[in-house]
Amino acid sequence: MSRVSSVFAVVALLGCAPTSGTEAGGPGRALARSAERLPTITVTLTADRTVATPGEIVEFTATATNRGTARVQIGVQCGPSMDVAIAPPAGEERSALAYQLGANGAFTCPLLPEHFVEPGQTQTLRISWVVTATRGIYTAVAGLRRGDGLGNLSTPVQLVVR
């Protein structure tokens, strides 16, 4: 069974910033990579298309699967448990959550069921991203939002913007 979380209207003006961790930056800054790895968790990423034009919406789906025998906390308390880092053709990658929420967005900070994965179960997060004006090949990677950045990175997904 899969638990689906959507970030389409999760914005609150209280709480934690929409970055991938305390060392990660907001829009325009590179995302940190977490030194912490959860050995039983596998993260995958898909996109609803591989070619897009500026202004279109691409929906990314990040999935965390627990291959272990114990319940695991996969994300930090504030905001979604996962994020997608998007790297444009030239420039630093940015958080898809930060793209979506903008510079003034923030999350509330309860620890929710979406922050945990039971043995043999998955958590899924869908993030909508409005394609920017820069044309070229973008690379996206999903990961768990940890205190020091994205962890348990997925295999990268490429998106051509024409």
Name which residue leads in pLDDT, 66 or 21.
Answer: 66
Residues 6+ apart with CB under 8 A from 103: 26, 27
Say if residue 9's pLDDT is above 70.
Answer: no
Mean pLDDT of the residues in the chain: 82
User: What is the reported pTM?
Assistant: 0.80
Looking at residue 56, what is its pLDDT?
Answer: 97
Compute the average pLDDT of residues 109-130: 93
Read off the CATH number of the domain in which 157 is found.
Answer: 2.60.40.2360
Asked if 80 and 96 count as a contact pair (C-beta separation under 8 A), the reply is no
What is the rounded CA–CA span in Å between residue 37 and residue 125?
A: 19
Segment 31-62, tens digit of pLDDT: 788 888 999 999 999 999 999 999 999 999 99
Say if residue 28's pLDDT is above 70.
Answer: no
The length of the chain in residues reads 162
Counted domains in the chain: 1
Segment 90-109, tens digit of pLDDT: 888 889 988 777 666 677 78
Say if residue 1's pLDDT is above 80.
Answer: no
Looking at residue 30, what is its pLDDT?
Answer: 61
- Count other C-beta atoms under 10 Å from residue 85's C-beta: 28
What is the rounded CA–CA span in Å between residue 1 and residue 26?
A: 33
Name which residue leads in pLDDT, 20 or 55.
Answer: 55
Instruction: Find the domain containing 25 and state its range.
Output: 2-161
